[in-house]
Amino acid sequence: MEGFGERVLGLLESAGYTQRDLAAMIGVTTGALSKYLKNEREPKMEVIANMATALNTTTDFLLTGKDDSQSFEETYRLVARGTSTMTDEEKIKLMKVLLNNGK
């Protein structure tokens, strides 16, 4: 069964990025990224969202292996703003999208 790290590595290869490239794009050290890819450490949701954006995929795919591209645009729009500027209603909507595909 393919896990989080394997999915990210596959997307890295498909995109032609190195681990160093991805670490720079998402704002983490190469050491931290290495631990995420080896499933030795769990990244924060913000890091997962940044990975999904950098790799042009969804957080759903990174976390579960399932891809619901219809929710990607909505998720991207909400996460891109950053939770610090969101209203409580927007935060609730984001959680619903992330946890239940917006249902």
Average pLDDT along the chain, 103 residues, taken 10 residues at a time: 90 94 96 95 94 90 76 65 76 75 50
Domain assignment present for 36: yes
Domain assignment present for 100: no
- Provide the domain count of the chain: 1
Domain assignment present for 18: yes
Please tell me the chain's helix, strand, coil percentages from 3-state DSSP, rounded to the nearest 5: 70, 0, 30
The answer to whether 57 and 26 have CB atoms below 8 angstroms apart is no
Domain assignment present for 70: no
For tokens 């219809």, what's the residue?
Answer: 70
Domain assignment present for 46: yes
pLDDT, position 28: 97
Domain assignment present for 64: no
pLDDT, position 87: 83
pLDDT, position 81: 63
User: What are the tokens at 41?
Assistant: 């450490």
CATH number at residue 24: 1.10.260.40
What's the domain range around 24? 4-57
Give me the count of residues in the chain.
103
Domain assignment present for 8: yes
Task: Please tell me the distance from the alpha carbon of residue 50 to that of residue 30, in angstroms, as a whole number.
Answer: 15
User: What are the tokens at 44?
Assistant: 């924060």
Q: Is 56 left (phi over 0), alpha (psi -120 to 50) or beta?
A: left
Picking from 74, 72, 71, 91, the residue whose alpha carbon sits closest to that of residue 83 is: 91
Domain assignment present for 93: no
Residue 58: phi and psi, rounded to 5, are: -110, 160
